[in-house]
Amino acid sequence: MKTFIENLNQSIAAKCNELKNEVNKGLSAIILPNALTPVPHTSSSQTGTPPIAYILYGLAGISAIGALSISGFRIVGLGIAAICAYGGYRSSSTNSKQKVVTGTPIIDIERLKSDVSSKVILLLRKVTDEWDEYMQHNKNNLQDAINQSTLDENQKDDMANRIFIHEVFDISMADFNARMNTARTVAEIKSVIETFRSKMLNAIESTGRKQIEKYQSLL
């Protein structure tokens, strides 16, 4: 029994380290936008056909009519018409394109907070479920070891009662949500994540230590 419990406690310590790595990896995978990085946006003031384009188109039409009406000026008039028409086309096509300029990015803080919170909740649920399943497996194995031991029935019942409930992570999502709700910038959101990281790692460490002490007390 002693060897079994000592090996079990070593396994618990290793599992806690594994879960802490999962927390670090999961939180580090949450990518926050860099507010200092410019992003392209469209300038609405540069769209549409400018007045100069219509003027050039008009001159092109007049010149063409003049060229047809006055044979002596046919070649010159048609040349002017062609030049004006091309100028109108170039002016309208250039300005009809959207002008891409560099500006300050617009970050939807509320949506970002919601996305971050969802990822943190999923990570916490994953780590918590993994711990509960692991401890349930340990409890079953330990119960089998107790039943097969040479202890009397009263001692077996006492040990069974002491291992019936395992230690759980003492981490509050209400505290996380309250902090996240007050965040107004990307920097503040990052601070909330790092605070949660510290609390989660401490909770795993504390829970593992208490569970090891509980099993150690069985010896």
Residue 105 is predicted with a pLDDT of: 64
Distance of CA 61 to the CA centre of its chain: 58
Q: What is the pLDDT of residues 202-219, one digit of tens each?
A: 999 999 999 999 999 988
**What is the reported pTM?**
0.69
Tell me the CA distances in angstroms from 207 to 95, 102, 155, one per residue in order.
66, 50, 26
The single-letter code of the amino acid at 158 is D
Mean residue pLDDT across the chain: 79
- 153-165 pLDDT, tens digit per residue, is 999 999 999 999 9
* pLDDT greater at residue 139 or residue 95: 139
Tens-place pLDDT, residues 58-74 = 444 444 444 444 444 34
| Residue 20 neighbours by CB under 8 Å, 6+ apart | 201, 204, 205
Give the number of residues written for the chain: 219
For the chain, give the percent of residues with pLDDT over 90.
Answer: 62
- Give residue 106's pLDDT band: very low, low, confident or very high (50, 70, 90): confident
Amino acid 41: pLDDT: 40
- The two tokens of residue 1 are 């029994």
Q: Please tell me the predicted confidence (pLDDT) of residue 201.
A: 98
> CA–CA distance from 134 to each of 14, 79, 125, 199, 210 (Å)?
12, 87, 14, 21, 15
What's the average model confidence in pLDDT over 111-138?
97
CA–CA dist 128, 165 (Å, integer): 15
Over residues 185-198, the mean pLDDT reads: 96
61, burial (CB in 10 Å: exposed 0-12, middle 13-18, buried 19+)? middle
Q: What are 165-179's pLDDT values in tens digits?
A: 999 999 989 999 999
